[in-house]
Structure 1
């Protein structure tokens, strides 16, 4: 049969061919081959790691550049905000200085106007008053707030009678009736230690009174006492804010 014939031919061919024997690799050869394989694998791993490091470095460099740009932008914003704050502080300082200057000028103008009014009142009184025998009299008096709610400046103008040639020496006592939380009170300055007053023809009086906190002045009462303090020579009472 054909199959049997094929097997016989194969056996005959194998029997006629010379047998070739390959020597078995030695231990050193196997170790060398393993080393070469490990070196190849290590090279592949090193190449992969190097490529990964290059990509990571590029990514980190890109992220660092973005962060640097962000930091620079934030620094610009902070610098702009700081410049705006300094400008606002400068403007506020200028406004405060301007307000203080205007307040001082207003106070000076009010004081000058009050002084001129006192002078005019005094001159008018010289023309209209016929009481020549009185040793001393008040021409005007007033009480002005200093703006802090507690301190007030009192002002007064004194004039001697026409027949009084000698200088008048006396004492000043200033009282203020006030209202605090619905309760009436009175503050007096000069009773224990009266302020000396010397008048030659006419004299301006001025001083500061400090009232209790939240006190609202109602009436100014200024009195000139004799030198011994036993007699009221002149007196001026004026409602605060009145005429």
Structure 2
């Protein structure tokens, strides 16, 4: 009995459900299905590549923007440093100008001091030396080496006491040298000297470079006579 009922139920189910026939695909259908699958895969790969390229482009643009911002910051910092360096350079220029001005002022003060010391030495000599019997006397001679054979000389001269006539004459510099050619004497250009009661003058000598200087001498002569009336040299105390 139960078997018959089960049989009738299955028969009723088969009768109620319409039959669907699925035709079997031939080789053309399978080919088209494979091509369709490959096409879908290609589309998927293309979409993935496009998305990856877009992401890479956006990332590269972001990096470029960061690098541009860093470059602009570096340029701004460089401009600030250049402005700071320009300010420091201006301060250095001002300091250098001030230093040169102070050096020039110091040189002027030193020259004035040297002149004052020269005058003091001259008047001190006048108090201790004044030979009435000599018309003119070189009371002080200073010789100072400069560079490359150049020497500076200074002379203080005075007339004998009681002489009111102005003196006019010349100083004749000469130097005794020793070099490869032996010992020799060199006469140099004369320097005029004119004063009344007392006077001073100075000049420079240009001697051969490399020669050993044994003696530098200044001889004083009048305009009318070549015979020296006074002299001094760098070896005198």
Q: TM-score scaled to structure 2, two decimals?
A: 0.64
Matches of 2:97 and 2:148 in 1, distance apart? 22
C-alpha separation between the residues in 2 aligned to 1:186 and 1:85? 59
List gaps (5 residues or longer) in structure 1: 1-16
**Secondary structure class of the residue paired with 2:132:** coil
- In the aligned structure 1, how far is the partner of 2:73 from the partner of 2:208? 57
Which residue of structure 1 aligns with residue 110 of structure 2? 110
Q: Name 1:169's counterpart in structure 2.
A: 168
Contact between 2:173 and 2:188, CA under 8 Å: does it hold in 1? no
- Change over 3 Å in CA distance of 1:45–1:159 after alignment to 2: same
Distance 2:123 2:58 in 1: 96
Match of 1:138 in 2: 138
CA distance in structure 1 between the partners assigned to 2:229 and 2:190 by the alignment: 14
Alignment of 1:194-233 (within 5 A): 194-211=190-207, 220-228=216-224, 230-233=226-229
CA RMSD of aligned residues (A): 4.3
Alignment gaps of 5+ in structure 2: 1-18
Say if 2:173 and 2:190, in contact at 8 Å, map to a contact too.
no
Indicate how the Cα distance of structure 1 residues 210 and 59 shifts in structure 2: closer, same or farther if over 3 A, else same: farther
Q: Which stretch shows the higher mean deviation, 60-69 or 91-100?
A: 91-100
> Quick one: distance in 1 between partners of 2:148 and 2:193?
28
